[in-house]
Structure 1
Amino acid sequence: MLVNIITEYLVKYYPSFNIIFYITFRSVASLLTALFLSLSIGPYMITFLKKISFVQVVNHNGPESHNIKQGTPTMGGLMMLISIIISVLLWAYLYNPYIWCVIFVFLSYGIVGFIDDYRKVILKKNNGLSARWKYFWQSVIALIISIIMYVIGKDTSATGLVILFFKECIPKLGLLYIILSYFVIVGTSNAVNLTDGLDGLAVIPTVCIAIGMGLLALATGNITFATYLHIPYLRYASELMIVCTSIIGSGLGFLWFNTYPAQLFMGDVGSLALGGALGTIAVLLRQECLLVIMGGVLVIETLSVILQVISFRLCGQRIFLMAPIHHHYELKGWPEPRVTVRFWIISFILLLISLVILNIS
């Protein structure tokens, strides 16, 4: 970590500064750093994006109530990318390969999202990068990192499959690990992207997942905790807690400006990057199954779109008034803040349920 340069010098003369090397201290520090950076950058980001006319283009196929969002600055996810990357570089041990795996996906998916948002702004349309090309580049990035992670953890518990309630048996996946990792990373990225449809809606579910994965990273990287919870001990895992707390801090800072009525939208640059990073962390921690529960809101949002498309193409009928499902409740008359806060509550409950399941399974 970059703080090492100063800390190692101070510890020679002031041993109490040794606390900076503790994972718990660095986790809190990374959270506060990302939070402070987000809150500091936010006002300047809003002013700058308005100045260069990087503003939201409302989807005319969406609810009519969203027309008032026209002109709100977008691509606020850049603020999150900056704050998270700086925080991780400051407080994480950079020799850790897991850190670089997450950073690679985070930045790469952020670039894909940036191109998508940029095309929307320039073309003044809401379709941006074509779905085919977006999925192509997501797939290329996910396959690259999946192969790298497989090579790092080949023939170890790092490529096993942790099955809830059957944790005594962790089968080695072999090359199937690459396929599973690919679907988790791409799927989580797109799930966050679909959920990011209302002011603040996607932030708290991602923060809840980051909280859960952060606690799992701490446990997985500690042989005593890992043995007690019957999960694989992974020597590099604990440093992922720094990434998770950075996401939490940045997410809360972004929510300050994104809460209803939003002053700033995340854009694909933020949603794709956050989803990809969380999916990668879940894969590295071997907790893909638990991710499904923690990210239950993301799963429901994604399934609502899939079911809507299948139903309409096969039967010519729609299951929901509009998909993703948050729009369904809007059209049923729920005010936007009510939909958002209730989905937040569900996300928090699912986080607690997943932690309980981890302990009893």
Structure 2
Amino acid sequence: MLYHLLFPLADQFPVLNVFRYLTFRTGGAVMTALVISFFIGPTMIRLLHMRQKGGQPIRVDGPEGHLLTKQGTPTMGGLMILIALVISTILWADLSNGFVWVALGVTVSYGIIGFLDDYLKVSRRNHKGLPGKVKLVLQVAFALAAAFWTMRLMPADLATTLAVPFFKGTLVHLAWFFPVFATFVMVGSSNSVNLTDGLDGLAIVPVMIASGVFMLIAYLVGNTVFAGYLQLHYVPGTGELATFLGALIGGGLGFLWFNAPPARVFMGDTGSLSLGGALGSVSVITKHELVLAIVGGLFVLETVSVIVQVISFKLTGKRVFAMAPLHHHFEKKGWAESTIVIRFWIIATILALVGLSTLKLR
């Protein structure tokens, strides 16, 4: 909005020329989202406390300590991130860019699904919210719509292709299978972040780390000079996603202020589903879906631990882990919550660096 309102006046007021620079607007998006989340955070937490008698329902089959340390903490804190993200993006992004609306569409729609899930959990005082099949069908429907929308905005030679990291110029043509693959990426990313969100600060920091990596990727892929130098597949317009991801980071930082141990609020499915969907949609748009599996390797690891646990128990009646997802396994082993969280942050940082190396190692 500010770009459309102020940049046309740059001829009369040269200082407004800064709005043409993506880096300036991305920085503005970070700070705006941060300030908004700081501003609305205390009021939102107070309202959530009033509306949610008893806070988020705690699973009785979960780690025993959660019944003591997390009882009464409100959920739906993801609303704080979503409000800051949407307002900041609309203020600082070029709203004529279709990719921005695709990313916002996936993020908000998945946030609505998560909100319904959280609302049912709180209102029923039960950790079971929206039925799993209903949730999955809604996620798939929104992701499919986003996949077809992205294909229409893409250059024809890239619309249905998959780029392979470490191999320059390599494109796998998926044809009709591309929307299915893109849907899998968005739904998988959303649910992976959701599974990771189980301890104070555990999910939001890796999400911000991954967002920072993809902020750089979006900028480079959308710049013909840098894309050519790094031998990336140039996708016109993706650079504008840097403002969207900057807003996500700013909103995430503001949320972390209130989510730091001991958390005053949980993001809930409202936040985890939407943030995972945001990362998935950006990876599809920038043609870096496989890189997301590296950068978001922590989320993949948590998801695999659940899959392995379920398969092992059904086939053999035995559990591989003391409890799944993986962070609960380490809780059962006696690790302190802060130890698990910080070590998982370290893993997320290492994986982000590995993912960044794919930009040059080709």
Q: TM-score range by the shorter chain?
A: over 0.9
TM-superposed CA distance for 1:152, in Å, is 2.8
User: Do 2:32 and 2:88's aligned partners in 1 also have CA atoms closer than 8 Å?
Assistant: yes
1:55-81 per-residue CA deviation (whole Å, 9 max, x = no partner) reads 211011100110121111110000111
User: Quick check: 1:211 aligned with 2:178?
Assistant: no
What is the one-letter code of the residue matched to 1:21? R
Q: Aligned partners of 1:327 and 1:314: how far apart in 2?
A: 22
What is the one-letter code of the residue matched to 2:17? N
Q: Aligned partners of 2:271 and 2:289: how far apart in 1?
A: 22
Aligned to 2:242: 241
User: Do 1:117 and 1:268's aligned partners in 2 also have CA atoms closer than 8 Å?
Assistant: yes
What is the one-letter code of the residue matched to 2:260? T
**More deviation in 12-21 or 41-50?**
12-21
TM-superposed CA distance for 1:149, in Å, is 1.6
Q: Aligned partners of 2:18 and 2:273: how far apart in 1?
A: 35
Q: Aligned partners of 1:165 and 1:304: how far apart in 2?
A: 27
Aligned to 2:270: 269
1:202-231 per-residue CA deviation (whole Å, 9 max, x = no partner) reads 011100110010000110011111111111
TM-superposed CA distance for 1:158, in Å, is 4.0
Aligned to 2:102: 101
1:22-78 per-residue CA deviation (whole Å, 9 max, x = no partner) reads 000000000011111111111111111111126211011100110121111110000
Aligned to 2:34: 35
Aligned to 2:22: 23
Q: Aligned partners of 1:143 and 1:169: how far apart in 2?
A: 25
1:305-341 per-residue CA deviation (whole Å, 9 max, x = no partner) reads 0000000001111000000000000010101011001
Q: Aligned partners of 2:119 and 2:194: how far apart in 1?
A: 16
Aligned to 2:48: 49
1:215-252 per-residue CA deviation (whole Å, 9 max, x = no partner) reads 00110011111111111111110001111111111111
TM-superposed CA distance for 1:171, in Å, is 2.8
User: Do 1:194 and 1:302's aligned partners in 2 also have CA atoms closer than 8 Å?
Assistant: yes
State the secondary structure of the residue aligned to 2:145.
helix
1:88-129 per-residue CA deviation (whole Å, 9 max, x = no partner) reads 000000111101101111111011000000000100000111
Alignment of 1:222-233 (within 5 A): 222-233=223-234
Aligned to 2:133: 132
Q: Aligned partners of 1:232 and 1:307: how far apart in 2?
A: 35
Q: Aligned partners of 2:137 and 2:28: how far apart in 1?
A: 37
Aligned to 2:294: 293
User: Quick check: 1:328 aligned with 2:340?
Assistant: no
Q: Aligned partners of 2:281 and 2:255: how far apart in 1?
A: 22
Q: Aligned partners of 1:156 and 1:66: how far apart in 2?
A: 51
TM-score (norm 1): 0.97
User: Do 2:155 and 2:235's aligned partners in 1 also have CA atoms closer than 8 Å?
Assistant: no
Q: Aligned partners of 2:160 and 2:286: how far apart in 1?
A: 10
Q: Aligned partners of 1:348 and 1:158: how far apart in 2?
A: 31
What is the one-letter code of the residue matched to 1:114? F
User: Do 1:158 and 1:284's aligned partners in 2 also have CA atoms closer than 8 Å?
Assistant: no
**More deviation in 162-171 or 348-357?**
162-171
User: Do 1:159 and 1:286's aligned partners in 2 also have CA atoms closer than 8 Å?
Assistant: no
User: Do 1:158 and 1:286's aligned partners in 2 also have CA atoms closer than 8 Å?
Assistant: no
User: Do 1:102 and 1:277's aligned partners in 2 also have CA atoms closer than 8 Å?
Assistant: yes
TM-superposed CA distance for 1:144, in Å, is 1.4
TM-superposed CA distance for 1:3, in Å, is 4.5
What is the one-letter code of the residue matched to 1:151? R
Alignment of 1:116-265 (within 5 A): 116-153=117-154, 155-265=156-266
Q: Aligned partners of 2:177 and 2:216: how far apart in 1?
A: 27
User: Do 1:220 and 1:231's aligned partners in 2 also have CA atoms closer than 8 Å?
Assistant: yes
Q: How many corresponding residue pairs?
A: 360
TM-score (norm 2): 0.97
Aligned residues: percent identity? Answer: 46
User: Do 2:221 and 2:238's aligned partners in 1 also have CA atoms closer than 8 Å?
Assistant: yes
What is the one-letter code of the residue matched to 2:21? Y
Q: Aligned partners of 1:52 and 1:315: how far apart in 2?
A: 44
Q: Aligned partners of 2:146 and 2:242: how far apart in 1?
A: 19
What is the one-letter code of the residue matched to 1:34? A
User: Do 1:38 and 1:253's aligned partners in 2 also have CA atoms closer than 8 Å?
Assistant: yes
User: Do 1:159 and 1:174's aligned partners in 2 also have CA atoms closer than 8 Å?
Assistant: yes
Q: Aligned partners of 2:114 and 2:347: how far apart in 1?
A: 27
